[in-house]
Amino acid sequence: MPKYNHYILNHLIDYGGAMTMDFITKDSHFFVSTVHFIDSTWTLKHGVMDFHDYTPELSTSVEVREDFEKSMKSHNLWPDILKQRLYYNTDRGSNLIRALDGYYRFDDPCHQMNLLSLHLTNPYSDRFLPEEFRISDEDKKVLFEIDMIIENGFKIINGVNARITLKKKVKSLGPAIKKPKKLDG
């Protein structure tokens, strides 16, 4: 691990980088932080810096910050480097926002788009969205149907991936989406 730590440290000092951080709460509770940077050849690199289980009771902003800084110190990344050379991409969880007070943090656009798409069709209240973002019930129905198609698509993909023989067979067939053939007539 010392070579890995040295490699990352040198690149962050020379070129800066970004860190994504999130809590995973599906079926079990994990915390993950991943570093992203461009090396001297302008190649984008990624590396998991921390991945461990946590208990929801220990996820306050103070505990998250202490845990994060302790983990980063184990990689020789000290708070001065973390604050000066990295940008942090997180969701809008109040614990992460407060834990990264004093760091360069910005909202994860994927989380924000997911929330926006959810609340376009199912707002917190009638006044949640400004008038220009409100959509008709017909459009909400179409978006809901698209969401169901995507959700069912993921179920199919996960089902195929869970069955090794079927996965190999599907993979051998090549891409499922092919250029349409011209119709005669």
| Residue-wise pLDDT tens digits, 7-44 | 999 989 998 899 988 887 766 788 888 899 888 888 88
Assign residue 56 the CATH number of its domain: 3.30.420
Q: Do 122 and 75 share a structural domain?
A: no
92 backbone dihedrals φ, ψ, rounded to 5°: -95, 25
- Residue 178 domain flag: no
Tell me the residue range of the domain where 32 lies: 2-107
Q: Hey, what are 127's tokens? A: 């006044």
Q: Do 16 and 102 share a structural domain?
A: yes
Number of domains in the chain: 2
| Residue 114, pLDDT above cutoff 80 | no
- Residue 180 domain flag: no
Q: How confident is the model at residue 156 (pLDDT cuts 50, 70, 90)?
A: confident
Average pLDDT, the chain: 80
User: What is the model's pLDDT at position 127?
Assistant: 62
* Total-model pTM: 0.60
Q: How confident is the model at residue 142 (pLDDT cuts 50, 70, 90)?
A: confident
Last residue of a domain, one of 107, 124, 142: 107
| Residue 178, pLDDT above cutoff 60 | no
User: What is the model's pLDDT at position 176?
Assistant: 53
CB-neighbour burial class of residue 106 (10 A; exposed 0-12, middle 13-18, buried 19+): exposed
User: What is the model's pLDDT at position 129?
Assistant: 62
Q: Which helix (H) or strand (E) holds 114?
A: helix 109-121
User: Distances from the Cα of 40 to the Cαs of 44, 45, 81, 118, 167, in angstroms?
Assistant: 10, 11, 19, 40, 38
User: What is the model's pLDDT at position 98?
Assistant: 93
- Residue 182 domain flag: no
- Residue 177 domain flag: no
